[in-house]
A and B are shown apart, each in its own frame.
Chain A
Amino acid sequence: MSPNAFRRRRALALVWLLVVAVLAFHQYHLWRAPEFVTDVTELLPHQQDGVLEEATARLLSASATQWVVMVGSEDWNVTQQAARTVLETIDPQRRRLQATADGKVPEALLERIRAGRGALITRDSLDWLKGASESAIEQRALQGLVQPVGDGVSSWRDDPLGLLGEWVRERAQWSRLRPRDGWLWVEAEGAQWVVLPFADSASGLSSWRGGENSRLLARARALVAERVGGARIVAAGASLQAEAAARRAGFEISVIGTGSLLAVVLLTLVTFGSLRPILLVTLSLGVGCAAALSVTDMIFGRVHLITTVFGATLIGVAEDYGIHYFAARQGTPVDRRWDQLRQISPGLWLALATSAIAYLALGLAPFPGLRQIAVFSCVGLLAAFLTVLCWFPWLDRRALRTTRFSEVFARSLDRWPRWSGGWKWVALAIVGTALLLPGLLRLRSEDDLRQLQNAGPGLLAEQLEAGRILGLASPAQMYLVSAADQEALLQEEEALTARLAPLVRDGSIRGYQAVSDWVPSRARQVEAAALVAKADRVAWHAMAVATGEQIQLEPQVPQLLTYPEFEAAAGGQLPVGIWRDGSGAYHSLVMLGGVTRDSLTELARAGAGLTGVRWVDNTERYSGVLSTYRARLSGLLLVGVVGVVLLLHWRYGRRAWRAYLPTLLGGIVTLAFFGWLNIPVQIFVVLSLILLLGMGIDYGIFMLEHPGERSVWLAVAIAGISTLLAFGLLSLSGTPALRAFGLGILVGETAIWLLTPVFRLQAKG
């Protein structure tokens, strides 16, 4: 080694040491307070529509820290006993229990509402007053007079028809919960439920370490099952979902990580029969993973959990470089290691480049989640590779024997079947086609956001059940109402809710929540006030006639309720309310309860024709996004295939097909497999095909570059097996999207791994 080369290599190793030290420092800070994002929608492209984005953000932040535990049984006493157990377990100090959801109108708001008496009446009352005869009004007023007490909102004198009381009662319907024996109670489907709403101080959506609530909940479930038979517990809330997702992701990372690592260690051990390769390969993996995490964190600010789950597969890919290095070293003199590294490094650079390009292609889709995965994987591969390049010859200073296993394995290439074009092979090809074709014909696609949901199906089912029992509005479908000023906005809402009212009556939906329920438009309040004033005179006259009372009453002029006043008095009565965007326009959301698949068309139609009203179907919107990008990435995949084929033809001429055919066949086998198993193709399957193209072609290239060279075959085969294992473990993931991705790679890689040597060139000589 020349002194110059020595100095250069030493400098490189020291520079890399410095980089690793910086990484270690960053990792230390990262893990002191780890914060990972779990919200599925953050993986999706950012909405072009600022208003809609704002609406979603407002909706999310309103519910982010809240969660609810519901305890139910047929018997109220059993329910109460179970509820006591749950409360004692989860919140013995009653610090987080909320008591505001019982549908009672807050006192401060009630004061202000009373001043609006006459202007605030229900839509039904308004319709009734428009058509009611004098005698009907008299009847109703006198009925009220002989009841033992009033409605608790107004004296009969102030509101002889009880219209304000009725309005207040209708407002209380927004919550089905009622107080009973000191609990919040709801009856549903024959069961008596106690509802325990909790709120945490900090946002639960992005908390990774949390997990506290889930643990308490699990303990409460166990205690109730043990002490109180026959009671059911249903829990729901964004923070619980986030915790479950985090817990699950943590589990999957450790399974995939440990599994892959174990596989790498085992393969390295049997292949090289020495501890050194294991330690060094693990070192390169460690540096790779740390660099991946740190750089992703630095670029994106926060790391998504799905990135880290996916990132755990990196272990199975990034070990390639170390294994290639040791495969070349095996059985050669120790002082040749620098030369050998120089010999294999062009091939390794090429492999790194093709893998990186494949990963980066994932990042072409405007999904923040995929971009993270792309950056994470590329950085991880590069760092692992640089560790091999800069450090391995320094740290690896002793000879490495060939082992029996590596010899046997390397020789297996000679016995591997090779395509010769004979009739047997043609027959095999025909049989293969006959098997694959029906699978391909059965393929179907599906684009569902739930594919990305990793909180687990149990919790999701509970979430739906809780929503049904509590009558919660769904965040999936809603109307976005917009107007230039608040009055116009409220009028637009009223035009919409007038169309929704028949749908509620005929049971298509269970109900709706609108700001104008609480604050009717000025126009409507004025209309109501006029009708009520007239009716009140009729009622008082009837009373005077019935009792002989001589009294002159004048209708009180109502103080019309405005939104700012309502906001000031109610504070948080509505989850979102009215907000103003940067351009000065006003917006609100009309939320729906009890939406079914069948009512969607009717609901979309109800919003049509109203200029300020927009029907928002998030489920459909997200599916649309996923489906659009599935189509675009499929196009990208085809372009990639054409590009690779042209590139290989340019490099290898007529032999090129030997390099790319295994990968193309692997892709087709994967698709046929999905078809046969009836697993729908979604965007993540397409992504797995892209990655297959990038990684699978490597094997073909290596085999074509060094025809018949056994140490190359050894490295390719060992590296392939560990990659397979890593992605195979990913197919155990609880997130359906990752599972499909892992399965795609597993099947495709296996096929490519088996097929690549079949199409190898005859060894020279």
Chain B
Amino acid sequence: MRVVACLMLLVSALAHGADASQEQLLQRLRQPAVLRGSFTQERQISGFRRPVQSAGRFVVARGTGLLWHTMRPFESVLVLNQQRLTVSNGTGQPGTTLDATREPMLRTLDELLQSVVVADLKGLQAQFEVELRLPDGADWTMTLQPRQAALRSRFAGIELAGGEYVKSVRLQEQSGDVTTIRFADQMEDSRLTGAEAGQLR
């Protein structure tokens, strides 16, 4: 599956993790029930000169799941909830679906997502060694080292940076591909819209 393990990181990026100085970090972090925003993504594929650019919007809902809606260069919608992960091209055609009963990793991912959205960093720390840097001011950066060999064999390094919210994530894969995601326009909300809830159901 293309997506599961990385989403775990992405999701953690959307809300972040910490260690000894996590109290300080927690104070700077917001813990909304629903967080919406836009993202731009640059994927540098090894052997290619130019990175692949894409952009879109995302929604994270605590206790429900994640919507990752790529709008440029073309439509792609990724939905993750407790039951399944679906990737479709946004034209209404059925896309690829992974069922949590066949791929139990999804369940783990979803639990991690929830713990992250509510800034329950225990979930993150179970999977990663977290090195946190808190320079003066509101901003912070952190480096995540996967604890499990399975994740380590895939990621050479993961870096997050943020302030009130996560601003960027950099994922360096063992295969040589590097992805940088920048987040912007974060908006908090107390609930999902009807359409979003429908997609996440």
Q: Chain A residues in contact with chain B, CB under 8 A? A: 104, 107, 139, 142-152, 154-158, 162, 165-166, 169, 173, 176, 178-181, 185-187, 543, 546-549, 551, 553
B37: CB under 8 A from chain A? no
A168: nearest chain-B partner, CB-CB: B1
- Report the tally of A-B residue pairs with Cβ distances under 8 A: 115
16 A–B contacts from the bound complex (CB under 8 Å): A107-B153, A143-B87, A145-B45, A145-B54, A146-B43, A147-B3, A152-B5, A152-B175, A156-B45, A157-B45, A157-B48, A179-B148, A180-B104, A187-B101, A546-B73, A547-B50
Q: Which of A149, A173, A181, A185 is the one whose CB lies under 8 Å from B171?
A: A149
Interface pair A152/B48, CB less than 8 Å apart: no
Interface pair B150/A142, CB less than 8 Å apart: no
Interface pair A181/B43, CB less than 8 Å apart: no
A548: nearest chain-B partner, CB-CB: B50
Q: Contact string, B170-197, partner A, CB cutoff 8 A, digits 1/0?
A: 0101111101010000000000000000
Task: Place the interface of chain B in its size category.
Answer: 35 or more
Q: Chain B residues in contact with chain A, CB under 8 A? A: 1-3, 5-7, 9-10, 41, 43, 45-50, 52-54, 70, 73-74, 76, 78, 87, 89, 95, 101-105, 107-108, 126, 148, 150, 153-154, 171, 173-177, 179, 181
State how many angstroms separate the Cβ of B103 from the closest Cβ of chain A. 8
State how many angstroms separate the Cβ of A617 from the closest Cβ of chain B. 28
State how many angstroms separate the Cβ of A576 from the closest Cβ of chain B. 25
A143: nearest chain-B partner, CB-CB: B76
Interface pair A179/B6, CB less than 8 Å apart: no
Given contacts A155-B175, A157-B46, A169-B1, contact A147 B104 (CB under 8 A): no
Q: Given the complex of chains A and B, what is the CA–CA distance between A181 and B87 in angstroms?
A: 27
Q: Given the complex of chains A and B, what is the CA–CA distance between A553 and B45 in angstroms?
A: 13
State how many angstroms separate the Cβ of B69 from the closest Cβ of chain A. 11
State how many angstroms separate the Cβ of A8 from the closest Cβ of chain B. 81
Q: Given the complex of chains A and B, what is the CA–CA distance between A107 and B6 in angstroms?
A: 19
Q: What are the 7 A-B residue pairs with the smallest beta carbon separation, nearest first?
A: A149-B6, A155-B175, A152-B154, A146-B54, A178-B104, A151-B2, A146-B70
Chain B residues contacting A165 (CB-CB under 8 Å) are 1-2
State how many angstroms separate the Cβ of A711 from the closest Cβ of chain B. 77
Chain A residues contacting B48 (CB-CB under 8 Å) are 157, 547, 549, 551
Interface pair B104/A145, CB less than 8 Å apart: no
Interface pair A187/B76, CB less than 8 Å apart: no
Given contacts A155-B175, A546-B73, contact A148 B104 (CB under 8 A): no
Chain B residues contacting A150 (CB-CB under 8 Å) are 2, 6, 173, 175, 177
Interface pair A152/B173, CB less than 8 Å apart: yes
Q: Given the complex of chains A and B, what is the CA–CA distance between A178 and B107 in angstroms?
A: 11
Interface pair B181/A148, CB less than 8 Å apart: yes
State how many angstroms separate the Cβ of B55 from the closest Cβ of chain A. 9
Chain B residues contacting A169 (CB-CB under 8 Å) are 1, 103
Interface pair B73/A147, CB less than 8 Å apart: no
A187: nearest chain-B partner, CB-CB: B104
Chain B residues contacting A156 (CB-CB under 8 Å) are 43, 45, 177
Q: Given the complex of chains A and B, what is the CA–CA distance between A151 and B177 in angstroms?
A: 11
Q: Given the complex of chains A and B, what is the CA–CA distance between A131 and B41 in angstroms?
A: 32
State how many angstroms separate the Cβ of A106 from the closest Cβ of chain B. 11
Interface pair A551/B148, CB less than 8 Å apart: no
